[in-house]
């Protein structure tokens, strides 16, 4: 079995799904000849041709809006937005149309669309290239949000996203793209949307995270007895796994690299309060980025949770 | 090196019927007498329906409503140029289009009465759900055309929007995609001179809206939007061109919104009676009737017959819409995704 990084694993998922289903097409800026600015779509143009790997004009709303039209007519478009910081022109299309189409047409029209976009800080990129605003999309009923943390899960989750009959925002950590290699099998396997993964098992504390931060949580909990949950799907998230872990450990730390206020940690924390409050030994702790505009690279290491900050957060939780 | 002109653009304006109903016979589109009769019937039905909907709103029996008065020729003439297998992407002021395509009238009333079941478009109609956010659906029509091209279907996608819509980014992105990929789309801009209270001059400094197509590498044409023959002719040409694989067209239907923007609007705040009166003489129905009368197609008896038919259909629609059983509250959850999320399953217990 080949050891692949996340770029290669996603590329493999795209290739296999396009081979399996001719309704799957890719649209975006530089996705064809250039293979994408991160090379995620590399080689696909040569295999599938420009009818299926479509270099579009530079227009994010256009890419997503056109994809919605294609999806409504039965194709399965995968739209790439080059960086999450540039997805905002497409928010109207995602929120006003992709999210609502099935509901407002009472199922006559659906939107089996995937919007892939790299997110997150830590690659020393220019302004607007390091956003992590996943919570925006989690607040849109009708949209699903998936965010893998490893090459293996990236492939399985993306295949599920492509086959899902509803729109999925698929967030890929730019920092993780080439950071980790692991064994990724060829051929079909899926990781269901809506299910989390227990990345480490323990008994004293539940640490919940996703994407790039998951790896820092694993580092921070080395030598501890902790449940580390890799959420993988942010909406709908796996409530069952969270509550059963919380009931076991009684202590919770939620870690994300998005700003704190109204981040997804708030929703998870409130849900735990509703469903597992009486099992808690102390307050839920959130370790997040600051409520600040995402800084340029010189300060980004101070902005995102570090292993040290996560450790301190866990120590706080363990005091109770 | 001398400067030289490297590109120049021209915009055609098409008029066939004048206000007295006299047609320029050299420009007549190929329409049989039966088709002309059918167009007139659709026209009367659309106007009768529109009038009734306004009354129902005033009586509090439906919600806010966007009337089409004055724009019927633009809507019916374009929709009539399509085949049943073609696709329509309407905005919220397109009841003339819906009527022309046989959309169940009671469902239109249901929608404006606040019930989504009204836009569960029947399976046999290739009409997209109407779009409220201005201009956003232009992209969906372009995507539909892209799908048609990919599948090598010979269908055309037609999208409707107004003069205000041409100021939106999605309009420009859609036009640009369509030109770049040479897609089978017809863009129908009903320039009704008003985006609620903002006049056409405040949307753009361009002399026409049709000329915007040239910037995207394809043809734009302006037609008298109150002249159903000119509208039909331009639309038919654009549809055939798209079907031949020769790319998109923008049609600017130069017309006028005779009524308020919606029933929640009061147009007297921003335009004078005189302005509106000037357009009354250009009524699209009047001139079409005069034309048919001169051709010997229209008679008092014919008018009586189509009026009665229209009234009967609208009566029935009103009755069906109002006797519909109340929508299930759980419907709002049931159609969010293909299946309920665990959290939605719990929320469902409230109903």
Region of B185 please: left (phi>0), alpha (psi -120 to 50) or beta: beta
Residues of chain A with CATH 3.40.50.970: 3-183
Nearest 5°: the CA angle B275, B279, B285 is 160
- Specify the pLDDT at position B1: 87
- Annotated domain spans of chain B: 12-23+30-350
Inter-chain residue contact A239 with B128, CB threshold 8 Å? no
Does residue A66 register a pLDDT over 90? yes
- Rounded to whole angstroms, the Cα distance separating A27 from A76 reads 11
Q: Which residue of B has its CA nearest to A65?
A: B139
Kindly report the number of other CB atoms within 10 A of residue A107's CB atom.
13
- Rounded to whole angstroms, the Cα distance separating A72 from B128 reads 9
- Specify the pLDDT at position A148: 98
* Residue B346 touches partner A, C-beta closer than 8 Å: no
Nearest-neighbour CA in chain B from A272: distance (Å): 13
CATH (residue range A3-183): 3.40.50.970
- Specify the pLDDT at position A145: 98
Nearest-neighbour CA in chain A from B134: distance (Å): 11
- Specify the pLDDT at position B144: 98
Residues of A in contact with B170 (CB under 8 A): 61-62, 65, 92-93
- Specify the pLDDT at position B166: 98
Share of chain A above pLDDT 90, in %: 99
- The answer to whether B326 is a known catalytic residue is no
Q: For the whole model, what pTM was predicted?
A: 0.97
Which of these CATH numbers, 3.40.50.970, 2.60.320.10, 3.40.50.10140, 3.40.50.300, describes B12-23+30-350?
Answer: 3.40.50.970
Per the CB < 8 A criterion, the answer to whether B229 and B23 are in contact is yes
Does residue A1 register a pLDDT over 90? no
Q: Where are the alpha helices (DSSP H) in chain A?
A: 6-20, 44-48, 60-72, 91-92, 101-104, 134-138, 151-163, 212-220, 239-249, 264-276, 297-303, 307-318
> Of A149, A136, A128, nearest to A199 (Cα)?
A149
Nearest-neighbour CA in chain A from B126: distance (Å): 10
- Rounded to whole angstroms, the Cα distance separating B34 from A308 reads 82
Residues 6+ apart with CB under 8 A from B243: B154, B156, B184
- Rounded to whole angstroms, the Cα distance separating B55 from A248 reads 63
> Of A193, A294, A202, A206, nearest to A255 (Cα)?
A206
- Specify the pLDDT at position B155: 98
Inter-chain residue contact A105 with B121, CB threshold 8 Å? yes
> Of B160, B212, B165, B168, nearest to B186 (Cα)?
B160
Nearest to B140 among A65, A164, A240 (CB): A65
Residue A130 exposed, middle or buried by CB count within 10 Å (0-12, 13-18, 19+): buried
The string of pLDDT tens digits covering residues A273-298 is 999 999 999 999 999 999 999 999 99
Q: What is the mean pLDDT of each run of 10 residues along chain B (351 residues)?
A: 93 97 97 98 98 97 96 98 98 97 98 96 98 97 98 97 98 98 98 96 97 98 98 98 98 97 94 94 97 98 98 98 95 97 97 95
- Rounded to whole angstroms, the Cα distance separating B178 from B138 reads 10
Residues of chain A with CATH 3.40.50.920: 197-318
CATH (residue range A197-318): 3.40.50.920
* Residue A224 touches partner B, C-beta closer than 8 Å: no
Nearest-neighbour CA in chain A from B271: distance (Å): 32
Per the CB < 8 A criterion, the answer to whether A149 and A122 are in contact is no
* Residue A61 touches partner B, C-beta closer than 8 Å: yes
Does residue A17 register a pLDDT over 90? yes
B146 φ/ψ angles, rounded to the nearest 5 degrees: -65, -40
The string of pLDDT tens digits covering residues A20-53 is 999 999 999 999 999 999 999 999 999 999 999 9
The string of pLDDT tens digits covering residues A237-265 is 999 999 999 999 999 999 999 999 999 99
> What is the DSSP pairing of strand A233-235 with strand A144-146?
antiparallel
Per the CB < 8 A criterion, the answer to whether B74 and B190 are in contact is yes
* Residue A240 touches partner B, C-beta closer than 8 Å: yes
The string of pLDDT tens digits covering residues A175-215 is 999 999 999 999 999 999 999 999 999 999 999 999 999 99
Q: Which residue of A has its CA nearest to B131?
A: A97
Interface of A with B in 106-145 (CB under 8 A): 106-110, 141-142, 144
Which DSSP helix (H) or strand (E) runs through B79?
helix B72-79
* Residue A202 touches partner B, C-beta closer than 8 Å: no
Inter-chain residue contact B147 with A73, CB threshold 8 Å? yes
The string of pLDDT tens digits covering residues B298-326 is 999 999 999 999 999 999 999 999 999 99
- Rounded to whole angstroms, the Cα distance separating B232 from B236 reads 6
């Amino acid at each position: 079995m080949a050891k692949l990084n996340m770029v290669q694993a996603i590329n493999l998922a795209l290739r296999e799904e396009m081979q399996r289903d001719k309704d799957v097409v890719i649209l975006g800026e530089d996705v064809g000849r250039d293979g994408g600015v991160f090379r995620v779509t590399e080689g696909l143009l040569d295999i599938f041709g420009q009818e299926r790997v479509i270099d579009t004009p530079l227009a994010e709303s256009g890419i997503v809006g056109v994809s919605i039209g294609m999806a409504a007519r039965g194709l399965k478009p995968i739209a790439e937005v080059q960086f999450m910081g540039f997805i905002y022109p497409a928010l109207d299309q995602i929120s006003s149309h992709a999210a609502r189409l099935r509901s407002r047409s009472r199922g006559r029209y659906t939107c089996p669309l995937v919007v892939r976009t790299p997110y997150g800080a830590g690659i020393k990129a220019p302004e607007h290239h390091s956003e992590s605003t996943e919570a925006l999309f989690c607040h849109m009923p009708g949209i699903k949000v998936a965010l893998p943390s490893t090459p293996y899960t990236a492939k399985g989750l993306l295949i599920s996203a492509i086959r899902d009959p509803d729109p999925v925002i698929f967030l890929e950590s730019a920092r993780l793209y080439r950071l980790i290699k692991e064994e990724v099998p060829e051929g079909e396997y899926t990781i269901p949307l809506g299910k989390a993964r227990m990345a480490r098992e323990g008994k004293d504390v539940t640490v919940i995270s996703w994407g790039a931060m998951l790896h820092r949580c694993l580092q921070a909990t080395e030598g501890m007895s902790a449940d580390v949950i890799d959420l993988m799907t942010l909406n709908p998230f796996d409530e069952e796994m969270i509550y059963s872990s919380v009931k076991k450990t009684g202590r919770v730390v939620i870690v994300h690299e998005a700003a704190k206020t109204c981040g997804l940690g708030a929703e998870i924390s409130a849900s735990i309060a509703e469903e597992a409050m009486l099992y808690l030994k102390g307050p839920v702790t959130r370790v997040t980025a600051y409520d600040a505009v995402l800084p340029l690279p010189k300060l980004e290491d101070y902005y995102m949770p570090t292993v040290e900050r996560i450790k301190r957060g866990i120590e706080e939780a363990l005091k109770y | 090196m001398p400067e030289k002109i490297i590109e120049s653009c021209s915009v055609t304006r098409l008029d066939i019927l004048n206000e007295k109903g006299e047609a320029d016979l050299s420009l007549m589109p190929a329409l049989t007498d039966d088709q002309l009769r059918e167009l007139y019937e659709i026209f009367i039905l659309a106007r009768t329906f529109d009038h009734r909907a306004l009354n129902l709103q005033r009586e509090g029996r439906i919600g806010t409503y966007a009337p089409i008065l004055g724009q019927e020729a633009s809507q019916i003439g374009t929709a009539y140029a399509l085949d049943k297998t073609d696709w329509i992407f309407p905005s919220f002021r397109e009841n003339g289009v819906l009527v022309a395509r046989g959309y169940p009238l009671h469902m239109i009333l249901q929608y404006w009465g606040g019930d989504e079941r009204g836009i569960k478009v029947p399976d046999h109609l290739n009409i997209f759900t109407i779009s409220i956010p201005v201009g956003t659906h232009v992209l969906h029509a372009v995507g539909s055309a892209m799908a048609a091209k990919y599948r090598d279907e010979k269908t055309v996608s037609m999208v409707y929007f107004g003069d205000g819509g041409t100021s939106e980014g999605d309009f420009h992105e859609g036009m640009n995609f369509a030109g770049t990929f040479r897609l089978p789309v017809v863009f129908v801009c009903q320039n009704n001179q008003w985006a609620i209270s903002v006049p056409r001059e405040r949307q753009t400094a361009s002399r026409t809206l049709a000329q915007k197509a040239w910037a995207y590498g394809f043809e734009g044409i302006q037609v008298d939007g109150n002249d159903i023959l000119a509208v039909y002719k331009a639309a038919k040409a654009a549809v055939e061109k798209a079907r031949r694989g020769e790319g998109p067209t923008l049609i600017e239907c130069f017309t006028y919104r005779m009524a308020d923007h919606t029933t929640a609007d009061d147009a007297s705040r921003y335009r004078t009676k005189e302005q509106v009166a000037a357009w009354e003489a250009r009524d699209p129905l009047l001139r079409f009737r005069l034309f048919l009368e001169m051709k010997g197609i229209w008679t008092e008896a014919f008018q009586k017959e189509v009026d009665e038919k229209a009234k009967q259909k609208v009566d029935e629609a009103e009755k069906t819409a109002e006797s519909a059983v109340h929508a299930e509250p759980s419907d709002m959850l049931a159609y969010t995704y293909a299946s309920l999320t665990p959290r939605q399953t719990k929320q469902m217990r409230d109903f």
